[in-house]
Amino acid sequence: MSINIPSVGCGFRGKVKQAILNNLESFDILEVMVDHYLAGSDNSREIFQKISQQLPIVLHSVALSVGTAAQIDTEYINIVNRTIKDLNALVYSEHLSFTKVDGIDTRLLLPLPRTSAAAEVAIKNVKSVKENIEVPFCLENISYYFTHPESQYSEVEFLNLVCQESGADILLDIENLRINSINHHYDPYKYIDQLLPNRVQYIHVAGGITTAELELDTHDQKLSQTVFDLLKYTLKKQNPKYIILERDGRFNDFLEVIDDCHLIHEIIRRGHHEQKLERITKPIN
C-alpha cells in the first residue's frame, strides 16, 4: 500500500475570510461548509469558486441528519451536488448524528442511540447519499455529553458498523475523540486501534477547553499536545488524504491557525521519514 502525504488546511470561516485569502500559500487545501456556501451572497459564492481554482476543496455539512428515521432530504442532496460541482470538491462529509426530529431542525448534533435499529437507519440513509453524489462520502464521529441507556455498542463499534455496512469512509475528529475519551472514561488509543483498517480518509483537529466538570468542544483554542500525540498515532495506523484544522472562534490571532498547520506538516514529514526508514531497515526473511 502506498503511503499518502496528507493535504493540510483549515476550515473556511467568513470572520477570517481576508486572513485566509492573504495566507493561501500556507494551506494545501480548504474545507468549505455547504451551509455557509448556501447562506452567502452571490459575491461570496464567487469568492469560494475563485479559491477552488487555486486550492483543492473538501466539503462538509451539519444539516443532513443521517440518523433521522426518515428518507434523506433529496432537496438538500441536490444542493450538495450543485455545491460539489461549483467547487469541484474532492470529498463530502457529514456527522454520524441526527439534527432533525419529526421535521424540526434542532440545530444540534445529537448522538444516536447505539443500537442495531439506529444503525440500520443510518446505514440506509448513508447508502442513499452515496448513490446520489459523485465523490467519496465520509462520516464523522461527534462529541457528545450523554449516552442513551439502551445503547448496545461502544462508540467505535457503532461507527465501524455503520461505515462497514454502508460503504462510507471515516472522518476522524481527533479533538472529539480526546473530549469523549475523557468525559466517558475510555482509552483513545484503543479506539484508534479498533477503527476499520485503511478507512480513515479525512481528519479534523481542533482545540477545546477544560471546565471543572467536562471537556468542551469549542473550536477556539490552539491544538493541545494530546491532539498532536493522537494525530501522530493515527498517522501510524491509518492512511488519510486530508487533515483539516477547525477554528470557529477567538480569531484575534489567526497566526495560531497557520502555526498549528505548520506543526501538522512537521508531524507528517517526520512520520513519513520514520516509515521510510522502517521499510529500508526491515529485515528480509
Q: Quick one: pLDDT at residue 38?
A: 86
Highest-pLDDT range among 16-20, 45-49, 199-203: 199-203
pLDDT band of residue 282 (cuts 50, 70, 90) is low
Which segments of 16-174 are extended strands (E)? 29-33, 57-60, 92-95, 98-101, 104-110, 137-140, 169-173
Residues 7-281: name the CATH superfamily. Answer: Divalent-metal-dependent TIM barrel enzymes (3.20.20.150)
Q: Quick one: pLDDT at residue 19?
A: 95
pLDDT band of residue 280 (cuts 50, 70, 90) is low
Q: Quick one: pLDDT at residue 172?
A: 98
Q: Quick one: pLDDT at residue 37?
A: 92
Q: Quick one: pLDDT at residue 240?
A: 97
